Structure 1
Amino acid sequence: MWQKRLQIVVLLGFLVSCWFAACRSGSATFTNGKKLPETVSYTYDIRPILSDKCFACHGPDENKREAGLRLDVAEEAFKALKENPSAHALVAGKPELSQLYLRISTTDSTKLMPPVESNLRLSSEEIALLEKWIKQGANYEKHWAFVPPKRPTLPKVADESRAINEIDFFVQAKLEEKGLKPNQEADRERLLKRVSLDLTGLPPTVELMDRFLADNSPKAYEKVVDELLNNPAYGERMAVHWLDVARYADSHGYQDDGYRTQWPWRDWVIHAFNKNYSYKKFVTWQLAGDLLPNAAKEQLLATGFNRNHKITEEGGVIQEEYRLSYVTDRSDLFGKALLGVTMECAHCHDHKYDPFSQKEYYQLFAFFNNVQEVGIESVIGGPETYAKKPLMEISDEDIQSVLRFVNKPDTNRLIVSVMGDLDSTRKTHVLLRGVYDAPGEEVQPGTPKAILPFSPRYPKNRLGLSQWLFDPQNPLTARVFVNQIWQEFFGRGLVKTSGDFGMQGDLPTHPALLDWLSVDFMENQWNIKRLVKQLVMSATYRQSAVVSEQQLKKDPENIYLSRSSRYHIDAEHIKDLVMASSGLLVRTIGGPSVKPYQPPGLWEGATSGRGLLSIYVQDHGSRLYRRGMYTLIKRTVPPPVMSIFDASNRDLCEVKRLKTNTPLQALVMMNDPAVLEASRVLAARLLQEKSTDKEKIVQAFRRIVCRKPTDKETEILDAFYQKQLQTMTETAAQKALSVGEYPLPEKLNSRQVAALMRVISTLYNLEETITRT
């Protein structure tokens, strides 16, 4: 027995020695089939390992740093060790003298790094990468996202035949590198549905479908794109993402959760997208419109962006604690939405992973700390609580002149919270441990040096911060927005972690493409519509969503874009599709939020019992049929149907929504009164037309699914209709037709309407209907 054990030990020793030899030669192949790169990159190979396994104890946070060793900065990493001056963590070219390598590869558990108790382990591949990197000189590179982008040259590709614009060259090059081929262009009907939903949030009309199918000119698709970009619904669709970013809601939040009138700012956002304000103008007005020379009311209204945060109305709170929480919200929003970094991690201490100190956090905080506001103001219930100071009143005269885009439906007093600074400068201190009543060192307005030092030529206020944001040397502003827009049209950003471009964020899948788009965006005056058109005109965007076994095996998440991605459309646009296809949609733009159908008792079960929003009072008439983006959002009880389809509750800035598929979503489509009412209304309208049963079914299919049904699909649906017609009783028909408030035309056969209603309801419940393919 002991001889067999000895043989096993010898064999294991031989295998281990072979593995180490392979690693030293740089030719190791690992269980996942990967080989070490010829040249190991700090940015793409090493930093992710150090960030995940080492920076918590050996990173930027001085308070948590162990043994005085810092590995995120080259000068520190190459220094003699504090606890052993004769040794170094890194010795360029010599892993055998580098304590970092020796400690991660040792078999002595008392010396192993990361420590056993941390439950972190380096894989054999990671250890081999670090060894090879040290052998090659242990060269550090500045974090990719903190280096200003430069326009890369277009890559050479083997097959240029399918490239329509520059985007396709970068994507094609990556596909060839990965051994993948792009899909052919989607068929015209599916492509039209995709681009219509993506650009307007609405399905194409049957008239547009027929016109596009009949247009055989080379410019047919581009003509449709231009038409959709000029449709006022474009501004509404683009605004939905920005409302998530700006945490827009119709209530103040917290327990009392009173009503607020911030919707005129939403009207401005729609207006700005439709007028194609440059991103620079769009953001500058929102950050600092009140500080612009001779600021007009439109510029002041834009600053409502930074007053959308939660505000308490509860008695007994500490004024300064809540005032500082509002400033914190604005600072964190700026970092996440506009810079794509997790600045909030430095609120209580130096950032553990990114090179942002706590002092730098409060220097950024200082830009937003001078707003003329208090922690709590007024009482529950009165009109004065709809907006908090500083505020702006919108008069009827304003609606007739400078604010014509605001949809003010009555002559009631309309007030909006906006930005406005004190006449004097409020002092800003580092808050020790982030506690509101523990001020430390006083700081002046400033920005993280790792991103871009704040220039003395800029004023130390929000206007200066905006100028810093759009400084040509700022490495993040263009990249972050381009990535968000890419995410909106492809389902996933080129950087998957669209709110984190820092050390812990994902690396870009196509770094050269991201840089090319960013530089091009800046050089073309931050033109948003131009950027959007570039994306949807590309061959990459137009691909079919059909997935082959090879694509699924090599690229299950479609990271390399060899096909179009499939995912359900946004919650707001699901309602829009239902309303538009049935003919119920009221296309009025802007105005106050509305309260559509909702299960009873939700608000009443989660409220303090005070204020306008303590009881849900459903709207009636045309207000039931507004676009989904106008649904009133109460933060403590967000709209349930929208929440089920992954809409934001608008508590905090959200730059990316989750995309889930759950049984609850199917139950919503089967039982939501809005869907059932739309089915009833469309059935009644089709039955009033002079056409055959099959023609009615084809018409419904085209309006809802946005393509012509196959003969087999038509036969199945027609057979279903005939069966429903035969078995439908008058009692069952009356019950089915009782849903919803829209009036039923007289003199229609109720059994026919109910039977066709069930067919149409089935169409709304097809996965294809609400899936963007």
Structure 2
Amino acid sequence: MPICFPPAFVKGCGSATQACGWPAFQWQTRGLPAPCPNGMLPTNQAITREKTRQAMPAEGFVTSGSSRCDHSRQTQVIPTSLLQRLSLLFGCAGIVLGTAVANASSPASRDLFEIHVRPTLIKHCIQCHGETEQEGGLKLTSLDALLAGGDSGPAIVPGNADDSLILEALRFESFEMPPAGQLDDPVVNGFASWIKAGAPWPEDLILTPMPIITEDDRDWWCYQPIADPVVPDVDDDSWCRNEIDRFVLDRLKQENLRPADEATASQLTRRLHFALTGLPPTCPPPSNQQNADSSADDWYEAQLNELLSSPAYGEHQARYWLDLVRYADSDGYNADHARPHAHLYRDYVIRSFNEDKPYDRFVCEQLAGDEIDPGNRDALIGTMYLRHWIYEWNQRDVEGQWQEIISDITETTADVFLAQGLKCARCHDHKFDPLLQRDFFALKAFFTPLLPREDFPVADVATREEYIQQLEKWEAATESIRRRLHEIETPALLAHATREGVDKFTDEIQSMIASRPCDRTEYEHQIASLASNQFDLHPDKLPEYLDGETETERQHLREQLAQYDYLKPKPLPTLAFVAGDVGPHSPPTLIPDQDTSPIDPGYPTILDPEPADILPIPAVLQSTGRRSTLAKWITDSNNPLTARVIVNRVWQQHFGRGLAETASDFGRLGTPPSHPELLDWLATRFIEDGWSLKKLHRRILMSATYRQSSSRPMDDQIAEIDPQNVWLWRMNPRRLSGEEIHDAMLVASQEMATDKRAIYKNVKRNKLDPLLAAFDFPDRVRSQGKRHRTTTSPQALLLMNNSWMHDRAKRLAKEFAEDSVDELVDQIHPRLFHRSASEWDRERAAGFIAAYPSESDDANDQEAKTALLHAYLCSSEMIYVD
């Protein structure tokens, strides 16, 4: 007969019992059958069978595991009258868990452990006295740990409950544990009985906290394997141009909606040019006949292919990526020093898009180009992705700033490639997503050995091997000379260091700086290297710093060292502003403010709970292989996140809204995809196409969905069903970005050949370009997956009053100085708006000129023309795309 529980006991995740310590929510999270509506639970036998079935290993990329609830949830007490029945139930649950008590004398003693000790320690104790934290030096995860005790002595004395400190704490007689409140007497008495019985403990058992990842978490859409859904079979599919349209039309029909008509050829041409190159079309606008024949694909596809092959394509696509990786040409903070080599990364990104570098390769180069292809200069430039953090040159807390830098890289990597908001998990398990604090530090461990480099060698493995072998010969022959030179030169150089100097650092950091690099630990070398950015040394002034006798010795040592120059290998070419590892071994990754063992590199537990299996790399690279391991995992076709994330970003670029609206957060605080099957279908095709972004753009832009008109009005039905156009019943018009506005002005005034596109402007974090900043250019301090689209009065004021805008209008007025107003209008409309001027346009222009206040009576007045052209440049038709 089923065991009956009060409804209050089985109500909701987080309900728990202190009498037996076994959380009610585990019927759900451990795969056990859910309670009946009246509070009834199935029999022990049914639970055992179901638990055995659920314990079978999961297949695929997503790995199953046990769960626990957030410790902040309310605790409820099971009535004492149920204890006898619970003893039977949890005795069986102990068997389900597969534990065998090695030193138990009877089933009753096993029950004492399973009913009272195990659940109490797990629920109330090992959060603060476990593997990652041991308050008071006390660990409670094993029998040996209890016997060893902590700072106050052994926690238990088997056979003697009254002398056991843990029982004193549970009784609130000395320490008061747990801090949340005293446990009920049955639990405390059960603990006492267990100690009196000799403290029987299952053989080799180590208690671990139950993870908070539930089956509901595992069912969240982004953690499911990428599917290859069947393309919907829709009736009346004459509107559809490719498979994308069938997914969209199927969803529209479900909502009793229909797609909009196709935009005109002129509108599509302008839309396509800005979408792929960020520039207005320079070809003549289509004729009326071409507009009438806009259903033909030939002209549209030819334009699309031409634009994908244009160098302007990579320049435009790069700006979306630079927002994501927070690229800038300066450090940020108050000083905001310049980064003279950062532009190499910008150019690398542009090059990569133009070459249609496979996205998986693009990702791998940025995370670990130095490990996967050390002789490829482009791959090494890719590692500048790891250098775009903000940095304060005069920050004396070098160690604290270094941890901030590594954490920022960790958060950015999770945002950019995985759309996982790990930032919250830096301090605690995420409150909404199945992301644990341990997950944050496991991902951070991939970057813990990172070392910024200004002198990274560009050489393949064989060349590096030859160089290192020869260098080791020179180092062995000159060891004693170089050591003595270090003893003479370094103290003098540091004592006379300029700029910030070294004396303001802590003694510990000063010691790291003063040590020879070969004598430092990996961590000491990281800190000393970062600190060295704050001071300058002047070896040319050593003769002034040293007394005569010491300088004589130094010169003699220098002469001796020069005698071994024949052993020294020829220097390898180097590259600045890149990153590698500090060596083949990593400093430990620790959770702050916790007495923890080091955290191994790993992935989010919900995707893979095991530590990462680090790939071996050639020893000559003097690197850990951690980042190349992470890159391989991220770009694995079985990873359910990576392809979805980038496909969604490209969709967002073209429609203004991703299929999943929160492009950098696929978690519960984000928005699930509006068309999940379409997202997965596109992700599958993207991988099959060799991770080609150009093919992805082409597939999306060839669809009828993309070619819809944006001018369809919203009627009452649509306003009720889909006012935000989530189901894509029309195209969304959009305002040009600041860069596109800038570039369109240069194209209009025919100055693009002599002036650079906005993508090449220097990005100074604390002093952004005024035009770009007014139109929502980000500060590039944090990764930004989607720019804000504000409409503010400063935007209009800047367009009206900015001298740069007026200069463009003057340049145009000079070009049309000899033309009549009608001739000006006929020529400027195709250039600015990609359409022919109408009679109404001519009449409006003539009226503007006639009404313009001017001291001249000349109908061809240049001042009036300039004002007219300036109005055209500021018009909505100029800065919006239909």
Is the pair's TM-score, using the shorter chain for normalization, greater than 0.5?
yes
- Call closer, same or farther: CA 1:344–1:333 in 2, change over 3 Å: same
- Bigger drift between 529-538 and 709-718 goes to 709-718
Q: Which residue of 2 aligns with 1:444?
A: 600
- Bigger drift between 714-723 and 257-266 goes to 714-723
- Bigger drift between 200-209 and 152-161 goes to 200-209
- Do structure 1's residue 259 and structure 2's residue 343 form an aligned pair? no
Q: Which residue of 2 aligns with 1:546?
A: 711
Q: Which residue of 1 aligns with 2:589?
A: 429
Deviation at 1:366, TM superposition (A): 0.6
Contact 1:69 1:76 in 2 (8 A): no
How big is each residue's C-alpha offset from its partner over 1:259-299, in whole Å with a ceiling of 9 and x where there is no partner?
A: 11200110111011001101011111111100014432111
- Do structure 1's residue 188 and structure 2's residue 280 form an aligned pair? no
Aligned-partner residue type, residue 517 of structure 1: L
Residue from 570, 580, 585 that aligns with 1:420: 580
- Call closer, same or farther: CA 1:86–1:558 in 2, change over 3 Å: farther
Contact 2:223 2:640 in 1 (8 A): yes
- Do structure 1's residue 729 and structure 2's residue 855 form an aligned pair? yes
Residue from 234, 245, 249 that aligns with 1:172: 249
Q: Tell me, what secondary structure is at the counterpart of 2:590?
A: strand
- Do structure 1's residue 314 and structure 2's residue 394 form an aligned pair? yes
Structure 1 vs Structure 2 CA RMSD: 3.2
Q: Which residue of 2 aligns with 1:509?
A: 674
- Call closer, same or farther: CA 1:456–1:193 in 2, change over 3 Å: same
Q: Which residue of 2 aligns with 1:241?
A: 320
Aligned-partner residue type, residue 220 of structure 2: H
- Do structure 1's residue 197 and structure 2's residue 274 form an aligned pair? yes
Deviation at 1:78, TM superposition (A): 4.8
Contact 2:266 2:285 in 1 (8 A): no
Matched residues in 2 for 1:178 and 1:301: separation?
49
Q: Which residue of 2 aligns with 1:486?
A: 651
Aligned-partner residue type, residue 444 of structure 2: F
Contact 2:262 2:708 in 1 (8 A): yes
Matched residues in 2 for 1:710 and 1:319: separation?
65
Contact 2:821 2:860 in 1 (8 A): no
Structure 2 residue runs of 5 or longer lacking an equivalent are 1-11, 36-40, 42-73, 83-214, 453-526, 538-572, 617-624
- Bigger drift between 413-422 and 573-582 goes to 413-422
Aligned-partner residue type, residue 354 of structure 1: D
- Do structure 1's residue 527 and structure 2's residue 692 form an aligned pair? yes
Residue from 777, 780, 783 that aligns with 1:653: 783
Aligned-partner residue type, residue 387 of structure 2: R
Aligned-partner residue type, residue 766 of structure 1: S
Aligned-partner residue type, residue 792 of structure 2: T
- Do structure 1's residue 456 and structure 2's residue 603 form an aligned pair? no
Q: Tell me, what secondary structure is at the counterpart of 2:533?
A: coil
Q: Tell me, what secondary structure is at the counterpart of 2:743?
A: helix
Deviation at 1:416, TM superposition (A): 3.7
How big is each residue's C-alpha offset from its partner over 1:543-567, in whole Å with a ceiling of 9 and x where there is no partner?
A: 0001323234432211111111022
Matched residues in 1 for 2:325 and 2:764: separation?
15
Contact 2:825 2:837 in 1 (8 A): no
Matched residues in 2 for 1:211 and 1:232: separation?
30
Structure 1 residue runs of 5 or longer lacking an equivalent are 1-53, 60-64, 89-137, 383-412, 587-621, 734-748
- Bigger drift between 707-716 and 150-159 goes to 707-716
- Call closer, same or farther: CA 1:716–1:323 in 2, change over 3 Å: same
- Do structure 1's residue 558 and structure 2's residue 725 form an aligned pair? yes
- Call closer, same or farther: CA 1:86–1:472 in 2, change over 3 Å: farther
Matched residues in 2 for 1:636 and 1:533: separation?
37
Q: Which residue of 2 aligns with 1:761?
A: 870
Matched residues in 1 for 2:661 and 2:783: separation?
17
Q: Which residue of 1 aligns with 2:845?
A: 717
Contact 1:290 1:299 in 2 (8 A): yes
Aligned-partner residue type, residue 798 of structure 2: V
What are the within-5 Å matches in structure 2 for residues 289-438 of structure 1? 289-315=369-395, 317-373=396-452, 374=527, 375-379=530-534, 416-432=576-592
- Call closer, same or farther: CA 1:490–1:72 in 2, change over 3 Å: farther
- Call closer, same or farther: CA 1:307–1:447 in 2, change over 3 Å: same
TM-score after normalising by structure 1: 0.69
Q: Which residue of 2 aligns with 1:693?
A: 821
Q: Which residue of 2 aligns with 1:275?
A: 355
Q: Which residue of 2 aligns with 1:476?
A: 641
Deviation at 1:441, TM superposition (A): 2.8
Q: Which residue of 2 aligns with 1:582?
A: 749
Contact 1:729 1:751 in 2 (8 A): no
Q: Tell me, what secondary structure is at the counterpart of 1:419?
A: strand
Deviation at 1:431, TM superposition (A): 2.2
Matched residues in 1 for 2:326 and 2:368: separation?
18
Aligned-partner residue type, residue 242 of structure 1: W
- Do structure 1's residue 668 and structure 2's residue 798 form an aligned pair? yes
Deviation at 1:73, TM superposition (A): 4.1
Deviation at 1:639, TM superposition (A): 2.3
Deviation at 1:729, TM superposition (A): 2.4
TM-score after normalising by structure 2: 0.61
How big is each residue's C-alpha offset from its partner over 1:302-359, in whole Å with a ceiling of 9 and x where there is no partner?
A: 11111111111115x2111111111111100110010001011110111111112111
Deviation at 1:205, TM superposition (A): 0.7
Matched residues in 2 for 1:575 and 1:544: separation?
26
Contact 1:70 1:76 in 2 (8 A): yes
Matched residues in 2 for 1:717 and 1:641: separation?
27
Matched residues in 2 for 1:517 and 1:655: separation?
19
Aligned-partner residue type, residue 426 of structure 1: S
Q: Tell me, what secondary structure is at the counterpart of 2:596?
A: strand
- Call closer, same or farther: CA 1:378–1:712 in 2, change over 3 Å: same
Deviation at 1:452, TM superposition (A): 3.7
Matched residues in 2 for 1:241 and 1:649: separation?
14
Q: Which residue of 2 aligns with 1:83?
A: 76
Contact 1:203 1:577 in 2 (8 A): yes
Aligned-partner residue type, residue 822 of structure 2: K
Q: Which residue of 2 aligns with 1:683?
A: 813
Contact 2:356 2:693 in 1 (8 A): yes
Contact 1:313 1:380 in 2 (8 A): no
Q: Which residue of 2 aligns with 1:221?
A: 300
Contact 2:244 2:705 in 1 (8 A): yes
- Call closer, same or farther: CA 1:574–1:66 in 2, change over 3 Å: farther
Contact 1:289 1:295 in 2 (8 A): no
Aligned-partner residue type, residue 530 of structure 1: K
- Do structure 1's residue 633 and structure 2's residue 798 form an aligned pair? no
Residue from 702, 727, 740 that aligns with 2:830: 702
- Call closer, same or farther: CA 1:439–1:319 in 2, change over 3 Å: farther
Deviation at 1:756, TM superposition (A): 1.2
How big is each residue's C-alpha offset from its partner over 1:88-137, in whole Å with a ceiling of 9 and x where there is no partner?
A: 9xxxxxxxxxxxxxxxxxxxxxxxxxxxxxxxxxxxxxxxxxxxxxxxxx
Aligned positions, number: 573
Deviation at 1:427, TM superposition (A): 2.6
Matched residues in 1 for 2:874 and 2:252: separation?
35
Matched residues in 2 for 1:581 and 1:522: separation?
39
- Call closer, same or farther: CA 1:158–1:545 in 2, change over 3 Å: same
Q: Which residue of 1 aligns with 2:107?
A: none
